[in-house]
Structure 1
């Protein structure tokens, strides 16, 4: 999924997306069906990772969650991030990458067109959700100690 296709998806959900210089080191912001992406972000890969989380807020959050001292706000932030993780990186993508010769996390981030940070968060999300490994289509996807794929016979 590209940044452009994600923009179309946002538009289809009735969201308006605008790039604008943001303050306070914010990279993205969602409010009332409007998404702002920091204009200073240099790559579409990073824009895509920010945009998917902001769409996740539209899909999963409610109210003003700016105050990150509030535990409920942090939970909503995490829920939106996890939604975005699963939206951009499916478990099957790990298997496809393996079958296409991808052998390390840097190659994987490039293959999936996500940032290294987004990939690390996604792997941690799946590890929390499924534990050490997950079996899918005759493959074991290991999340710990490092991401790995094992084809079952």
Structure 2
């Protein structure tokens, strides 16, 4: 089972139905409503689908009501929470360390290793920088966050 299929299986276990959908607006990649996730059938690959599904699952777990308009601060907060949920689902701190340990040296390699898009990786790193600041000590590593960059240092003194 590949990583997309694993995520789809988890969504099913959470009571989420996933349907491929042709949205009239090509900018819409996914949409969550009442236990159903619509995923655009115009996405280029399974990696994109996985990233969109993670965020829409985030809506299932963190949002309530209609948040289609971003004019409300509450709706923007719910959108943000859903994105953070998706980021943490697909790229936790251990995943960043695993990419480092597997000799990923740039965003392209890291995104490919983690099976996410480069944009999803960038957004995740920027969210983590906002949450943790410039760095965090995790296990025996130091993870450094910058805008659109991440560095990992193995701390041998611990």
**TM value normalised by structure 2:** 0.94
2:9 equivalent to 1:8: yes
Q: Secondary structure at the match of 2:146?
A: coil
Asked if 1 retains the 8 angstrom alpha-carbon contact of 2:126 and 2:146, the reply is: no
Cα distance in 2 for residues equivalent to 1:143 and 1:5: 28
- Say which of 123, 126, 129 aligns to 2:125: 123
- Structure 2's unaligned 5+ residue stretches are none
Moved over 6 A (4+): none
Q: Which position in structure 2 is the counterpart of 1:104?
A: 106
Cα distance in 1 for residues equivalent to 2:3 and 2:96: 18
Q: Which position in structure 1 is the counterpart of 2:88?
A: 86
Asked if 1 retains the 8 angstrom alpha-carbon contact of 2:125 and 2:146, the reply is: no
Q: Which position in structure 1 is the counterpart of 2:40?
A: 38
Cα distance in 2 for residues equivalent to 1:30 and 1:50: 10
Asked if 1 retains the 8 angstrom alpha-carbon contact of 2:125 and 2:150, the reply is: yes
Cα distance in 2 for residues equivalent to 1:7 and 1:152: 36
Q: Which position in structure 1 is the counterpart of 2:49?
A: 47
**TM value normalised by structure 1:** 0.96
CA RMSD of aligned residues (A): 1.1
Asked if 1 retains the 8 angstrom alpha-carbon contact of 2:22 and 2:40, the reply is: yes
Residue deviations 1:67-92 (CA, integer Å, cap 9, x gap): 11111111100100000000000101
